[in-house]
Chains A and B, each alone.
Chain A
């Protein structure tokens, strides 16, 4: 048996070794030091842009990516500053975010939930992204939002229109600037009633997934509140390419309006079929047969060609708006890329600035600090009038545009005309509205 003898020198050596050992994790990982996932290091902050780069929404994803790159440029003090000059908050100075130069990594969602989660995971774990943003589908947005909640990073949703994103699937780490199905319906129904009358019977063709279901439920409720009736709601598989067998029975159904709750390629093909079947030339119940597309995008309108002429729908934003912010963004984007931005580009650009501004106001990249700064944040100067990020569900409330396919377009981009800017008050709803029920925001997760 030996006897432990500790002299002064030995005590100092042992103390130094233990101290260094205990400090090691925080020295090696700044994240642990900061207390949240992927804290910025070396004067840079990494954002993760998760957009469809392959698959059917690749063009929309490409436009989102252009807008992200423009936002990064503006945040780092390059270019003309775009909507940073018109944004009501003046925290952004063109010196990155909190003095850290903004860098970015990109992922390909492929418009598939599992692929989108994998690419987001990779950007968080391998590339150190402190915020994930993007997407062109509600299924993808909900999946990635869930992942970001688990990983402890902020998710700034891109193009996602399902009520569920900020309804039953809302998350404390997720924020949506884009509008939703309820808002589209609330904006569109009064215009449809004014244009086509209140004695109408609608036939719905609905994409069979989360966005389609909530869009259909919203537009049916809003139009029935105006006196319309619903003849049928036929669910169409997302993979359908030829909609003729779904469109063919519409004329004999007694309906005089066809509502296409479709987006992207589905909408292009279903609208093309409906026009080919001559629905718009027919009289039913003594009235002209009409077609409605609740959610429009310019890229979709471009794919559907002349079939969109005169057809009503709604959109989050349009490049032809004449407010100071929209003009600034269109100029900035147009000079950079040679064509006007889409609504997807607009929403992701706004989300990037909003995230950066929230970090500045919170004084940290910690997701919980950023979330707190975004909750209840009121702003203007980003192209949608006076806007608020509601604290209770992280949904942005703003004016909604009712648009119509232009009869005489003057260019390949001039496909939609704004019929009405529906004021925000008309599209607001209670936090506990039944269409958004079933989920809980939960607590913010800063990760580790």
Chain B
């Protein structure tokens, strides 16, 4: 029971990242009709916004300590971050909570990047076939990751969670189980809560604001909304920025989970597309539901018990392909995905 609960928790946590990226993908596809293969790169760029903020906060005044030497025998360099000199304890707090600072800084940066990407490149491909859109956005993703690699190198760069949110919690005790039966990292729970809030926020924004209502109307019938004199293109551009911010914030918050590297966007991209397809093209609730569902299935497929059982019947391990297997089955049974609508990419 404890192993199952642990894998459910783990799957929900993995699913959080899938759901956030898939949500952004679906928003872009639903509004602009663009298949955006650069969306994983936006997740990666978000993570490197956090890396950059961390590095900026740690820009230091360097003094030489003649009592110590470096590896070449020269006087050792002592680094004192400027923010601690200027702001004292608040400076230390900013360094400690740099992930939170990155979330705040990351929102406008990612919206701006999204808008520049849409206005500068993607808008020129609205009336082109999906294959062209895929090629140009995939190319953009490669360019972005190579730029990041050129600046930050290929080695992952570790980012710490704030001390208060490091370590693990005994989740089993919280739900009345034995001590130490279900231990789970605190930051991963934070990530799940953050994702839930962000997803809820996007849905609330679309559901309860006038702007969101117009966007939803535009997603349903773009021409009619345009005939009413509403500049739907402008709103859709903003939605591209919002989708970029969602992916970017998912990346920012992911940095304490796995040290970010330039390739992390590609690692998530393909899985997120599968999530979108399984959820149903253009369906926001479908993308979120499929993200969590596939995350949980992937976790269960990695359990030693399941791996042993599969090996016992002479089959290879399925932990890396479970998502694709499920996608095949879902699409065979429901060709439009779990919550797909008629007419999406069916022309």
Residues in A lying within 8 Å of B, measured CB to CB: 54-59, 208, 232, 234-235, 237, 239-242, 244-246, 248-249, 251-253, 265, 268-269, 272-273, 276-278, 281-282, 299, 302-307, 319-320, 330-331, 334-335, 339-340, 410-411, 413-414
Tell me if B31 is interfacial: C-beta within 8 Å of chain A: no
Identify the stretch in B33-41, B69-77, B200-208 within 8 Å (CB) of chain A at 4 or more residues. B69-77
B258 and A269 contact, CB distance less than 8 A: yes
Identify the stretch in B7-15, B103-111, B213-221, B330-338 within 8 Å (CB) of chain A at 4 or more residues. B7-15
Q: Which residue of B7, B153, B154, B259 is within 8 Å of A248 (Cβ)? A: B7
Provide the residues of chain A in CB contact with B157, threshold 8 Å.
Answer: 303
Tell me if B97 is interfacial: C-beta within 8 Å of chain A: no
B185 and A303 contact, CB distance less than 8 A: no
Given contacts A304-B158, A331-B72, whether A240 and B320 have CB atoms under 8 Å apart is yes
Given contacts A234-B307, A303-B259, whether A58 and B298 have CB atoms under 8 Å apart is no
Tell me if B235 is interfacial: C-beta within 8 Å of chain A: no
Closest chain B CB from A409 CB (angstroms): 12
A307 and B158 contact, CB distance less than 8 A: yes
A276 and B302 contact, CB distance less than 8 A: no
Given contacts A242-B258, A268-B259, A304-B259, whether A276 and B185 have CB atoms under 8 Å apart is yes
Provide the residues of chain B in CB contact with A335, threshold 8 Å.
Answer: 72
Provide the residues of chain B in CB contact with A249, threshold 8 Å.
Answer: 3, 6, 303-304
Provide the residues of chain B in CB contact with A278, threshold 8 Å.
Answer: 167-168, 183, 185
Given contacts A241-B258, A282-B180, whether A59 and B307 have CB atoms under 8 Å apart is no
Query: In the assembly, what is the distance between CA of A276 and CA of B70, in Å?
Result: 32
Provide the residues of chain A in CB contact with B60, threshold 8 Å.
Answer: none
Closest chain B CB from A346 CB (angstroms): 14
Provide the residues of chain B in CB contact with A306, threshold 8 Å.
Answer: 158, 160
Query: In the assembly, what is the distance between CA of A241 and CA of B43, in Å?
Result: 15
List residues of B (52-92) whose CB comes within 8 Å of A's CBs. 68, 70-72, 76
A334 and B180 contact, CB distance less than 8 A: no
Query: In the assembly, what is the distance between CA of A303 and CA of B153, in Å?
Result: 11
List residues of B (143-173) whose CB comes within 8 Å of A's CBs. 149, 153-158, 160, 166-168
Q: Which residue of A57, A252, A305 is within 8 Å of B2 (Cβ)? A: A252
Q: Which residue of A59, A248, A302 is within 8 Å of B10 (Cβ)? A: A248
Query: In the assembly, what is the distance between CA of A265 and CA of B264, in Å?
Result: 11
Provide the residues of chain B in CB contact with A59, threshold 8 Å.
Answer: 153-155
Provide the residues of chain A in CB contact with B68, threshold 8 Å.
Answer: 410
B155 and A299 contact, CB distance less than 8 A: yes
Extra pairs beyond A278-B167, A304-B158 (16, CB < 8 Å): A234-B307, A237-B320, A242-B258, A245-B11, A245-B298, A252-B181, A268-B258, A268-B259, A269-B259, A278-B185, A302-B158, A303-B261, A305-B160, A306-B160, A319-B71, A330-B72
Provide the residues of chain B in CB contact with A320, threshold 8 Å.
Answer: 71
Query: In the assembly, what is the distance between CA of A307 and CA of B111, in Å?
Result: 33
For residue B74, which residue of chain A has the nearest CB?
Answer: A334
Tell me if B257 is interfacial: C-beta within 8 Å of chain A: yes
Provide the residues of chain A in CB contact with B188, threshold 8 Å.
Answer: 244, 276
Given contacts A249-B6, A251-B183, whether A281 and B167 have CB atoms under 8 Å apart is yes
Provide the residues of chain B in CB contact with A57, threshold 8 Å.
Answer: 154
